[in-house]
Every structure is written in structure tokens, then in C-alpha cells.
Copies of this chain bind each other. A is one copy, B any other.
Amino acid sequence: MKVLAGLTVVPLGVGVSLSQYVAVCERILTEAGLRPQLHANGTNVEGEWDVVFAALRRCHETLHEMGAPRVTTTLQAGTRTDRDQTLEDKVRSVKSKLG
């Protein structure tokens, strides 16, 4: 089952500068073949359900190894059976309505 997901991974207990942790996670998602699309509040990925959540697990594990005692992820995951849709389709669809 394919999933389109939006992830925000936040390490706690490592101060307020989180970008190095986000970057590591971004690399893990890329290596998993998920072509992450970084934006200001998280990153979007698309792929097989198990691949996405195995990669997210590696993000948590790796951030813990980097010294973060707590890691919290906020995630939106969407699946659909009516048609195949990519991340780009979703943006294009809204933009076409903006005229």
C-alpha cells in the first residue's frame, strides 16, 4: 500500500537548534528512496507503507544515537484506493484552482 506522508521529527533535550538533526533524517529518507521534499515545517515523502515507517524508525534510532534522549514525530499519512496520486499531483491540483 502506497502512502503519502508529511513528517516533522523533533528531538527533545538537545537545545533549540534542530537543523542538524533534521538534515540527518532527510538523508535517511533519501537513502530509503523516499525522495523527501523539505519544507519549512517538515518534509513530505511518498512510498510503500512499510518502507516509509521503517525509515522513520531509523530516524528515531539515529537521533537517539546522536544523543537526543527524546524524539517526537508528528505525521500525516494518507492512503487512497480511488486513484494513484503523487505529491506533485496534490500541489498541482490546488494550483490549478488558484488560477
Bound form: Cα–Cα A88–B81 in Å: 32
Bound form: Cα–Cα A12–B81 in Å: 11
Per assembly, the copies of the chain total: 4
Tally of chain A residues near chain B (CB < 8 A): 57
0/1 string, A87-99, CB within 8 A of B gives 1 = 1101101111110
Interface of A, helix, strand, loop or mixed by DSSP = mixed
Closest chain B CB from A69 CB (angstroms): 4
Bound form: Cα–Cα A37–B70 in Å: 22
Q: Is the CB of B93 within 8 A of A19?
A: yes
Q: Is the CB of A26 within 8 A of B64?
A: no
Interface residues of A (CB under 8 A from B): 1, 3-6, 8, 10, 12-13, 15-16, 18-20, 22-23, 26-27, 37-42, 44, 49-50, 53, 56-57, 60-61, 64, 69-82, 87-88, 90-91, 93-98
